[in-house]
Amino acid sequence: MFLEDTINPNKKKGWIEVVCGSMFSGKTEELIRRMKRAQFAKQNVEIFKPGVDTRYDDEKVVSHDANEIHSTPVPSSSNIPILATGVDVVGIDEAQFFDDGLIAVCNQLANSGIRVIVAGLDMDFKGIPFGPMPGLMACAEYVTKVHAICMKCGDLANHSYRKVEKDELVLLGEIDEYEPLCRSCYNHATNTKSA
């Protein structure tokens, strides 16, 4: 018997899409766009965000340019499968703030026939891969890397430079705390700050 003989052609097929990049690159905007298209197609959708992210709204996912969609804040990735019953599409914003269990959760959802769309920072302010994002990118069928514009030179930016002197990994902030920089400007700013 061949593998093709055991596949049920009537079963819904799930997959994982990851949208990643620096701050101010349009990750959340792209997540919202994809989720609204699914809603328009009359698909059942559910969007989750980490409970720690209350920058713009307690219950909505909101992009930097104020585009928004209703979401469910959750304290941990283990809450997502419990709340994602009867849906066709699951969206997850700010994935970097979730625990590493998010990788298994996304695979579980995709394996059950759900389209999973994840948005998050691929690197932290030190330029290190952030939280579960590297693992999610490795197992995703589709990865979209979006870029901001460097605030110093105008090139494509892929770093989130922290302008304030705080060392904690998770520091929710906006343009007062962070700015997008290209590799060259990021290295220059980081070397200048540490000198």
Q: State the burial class of residue 88 (Cβ atoms within 10 Å of its Cβ: 0-12, 13-18, 19+).
A: middle
SS3 27: helix
CA distance 130 to 128: 6
Of 17, 30, 94, 179, the catalytic one is 94
The CA-based angle 130-132-134, given to 5 degrees, is 70
Q: What is the dihedral of CA 55, 161, 125, 109, to 10 degrees?
A: 60
Sign of CA dihedral 99, 102, 103, 105: positive
- Cα three-residue angle 50-51-55, rounded to 5 degrees: 90
- The residue whose two tokens read 């219950």 is 59
Q: Which two tokens stand for residue 157?
A: 């930016």
Closest alpha carbon to 86 in 114, 111, 59, 107: 114
Quick check: is 94 catalytic? yes
Any idea which residues carry the catalytic annotation?
94
